[in-house]
Amino acid sequence: MSNSEEFPLGQYYDFFMYWKTPVITALVYVLVISALNPQTSGVSRVVAKSGKQPHKAPAKKSSRLFTAFIVFHNLVLCLFSGITFYNMGGAWLQNFRSRNFMDAFCDRGGKVWESDLQYWGWLFYLSKYYEIIDTIIILAKGRRSSFLQTFHHAGAIITMWYGTLHSATPIWIFVVFNSFIHTIMYFYYILTCLGYSPPGKKYLTSMQITQFVIGISLALSYLFVDDCLTSDEGRWAVYLNASYVIPLTFLFKDFAKRTYGKKSKVV
């Protein structure tokens, strides 16, 4: 990242790009969540093994101050995701309009990377650290953080770090798709925090699964186009994302099955 010092928090680029920062953060995150997670009762374990969705333990009643903090947190991520999608999606659309398809898809010459992707990729990577607050909120409410939640956040930090560090063009897929879904998702959370009961949670899960399936398919396609990935690190970035997104997709499908029922179509 040639001009990282000009980016927001760019003075910390070396710190966040050093491999120990994402790896240790993800490891500590997993260990702390494992230690602080409320224990699942014996009854809940039996119900869970039956294949049915266990009843959630009643959440602690939130104070107005805590609720205001949650709304603010979700608003920050909703706005950031929307701005990221608008800018990165727009840059990629202009890229395809101004160049032939394969040059645009592979970003040959690094045109999009230099102009937009390194900037928004960097900010999106940093946002994955901030999103850990999602889990903190769950624990503060007295709820249990699922393995899906833990795997999702820890894996996002690692994969975005590696792709950003090695200027891997396919991270545009993660940035564009995920920012779009997160814009809708965090807006949904804002409404629920304000006491509304918006419909469509099932379809939000469906959209998340769909982004994983389409996204990893696009990312893997980079491996089969000549001169699309010009470094071994770029190829390893795709492999790393595949090793994260494929199991994540199955975890989301399992969540959807347990939450909405076997007959519920989620994709």
- Catalytic position from the list 73, 152, 153, 182: 152
Measured CA to CA, the distance from residue 111 to residue 217 in angstroms comes to 23
Q: 3-35 b/e with 16+ CB inside 10 Å = b? A: ebeebeeeeebeebbeeebbeebbeebeeebee
In this prediction, residue 260 carries a pLDDT of 86
In this prediction, residue 251 carries a pLDDT of 96
* HSE-CB for 132 with a 13 A CA cutoff: 16
In this prediction, residue 68 carries a pLDDT of 96
In this prediction, residue 39 carries a pLDDT of 81
Measured CA to CA, the distance from residue 65 to residue 253 in angstroms comes to 35
152 catalytic, yes or no? yes
Alpha helices in 3-41 (DSSP H): 13-17, 20-36
Asked if 125 and 171 touch (Cβ cutoff 8 Å), the reply is: no
In this prediction, residue 47 carries a pLDDT of 43
Q: Show pLDDT as tens, one digit a residue, over the chain (267 residues).
A: 456 777 899 999 999 999 999 999 999 999 999 999 998 644 444 444 444 554 454 556 678 999 999 999 999 999 999 999 999 999 999 999 999 999 999 999 999 999 999 999 999 999 999 999 999 999 999 999 999 999 999 999 999 999 999 999 999 999 999 999 999 999 999 999 999 988 888 899 999 999 999 999 999 999 999 889 989 999 999 999 999 999 999 999 999 999 887 544 544
